């Protein structure tokens, strides 16, 4: 049986202006340079669900511990990503499971 990560961090974003989606993706991809995640992905939503298309971009990361997630969020790259993406995004919903 495969061991599951301690924490899966999933964040959903919507763009204020759809033309900014590439800039949002680029800003979020910088988070992949932070060394504390075991898995890190930034993906555009395919929006193939007919009932919901509010989400434009998804960040998915796995962490071995809550401490690693806290270190990830404390890294200066994380703050720089926020500064880049926050003005461009509308919706942001995060879940840690």
Q: Of the candidates 61, 97, 64, which has an alpha carbon nearest to the alpha carbon of residue 77?
A: 61
**What tens digit of pLDDT does each residue of 24-49 get?**
999 999 999 999 999 999 999 988 88
CA 14 from centre of chain = 11
Q: Quick check: helix, strand or coil at residue 52?
A: coil
The pLDDT profile of the chain, 97 residues, written as one tens digit per residue, is 566 779 999 999 999 999 999 999 999 999 999 999 999 999 999 888 878 889 999 999 999 999 999 999 999 999 999 999 999 999 999 999 9
Query: H/E element holding 8?
Result: strand 7-15
Three-state SS for 57? Answer: strand
Q: What is the per-residue pLDDT for 34?
A: 98
């Amino acid at each position: 049986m495969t061991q599951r990560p301690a924490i899966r961090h999933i964040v959903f974003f919507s763009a204020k202006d759809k033309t900014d989606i590439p800039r949002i993706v680029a800003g979020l991809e910088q988070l992949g340079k932070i060394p504390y995640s075991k898995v890190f992905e930034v993906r555009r939503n395919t929006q193939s669900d007919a009932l919901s298309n509010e989400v434009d971009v998804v960040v998915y990361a796995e962490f071995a511990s809550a401490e690693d997630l806290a270190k990830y969020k404390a890294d200066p790259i994380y703050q720089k990503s926020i500064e880049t993406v926050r003005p461009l995004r509308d919706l942001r919903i995060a879940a840690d499971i």
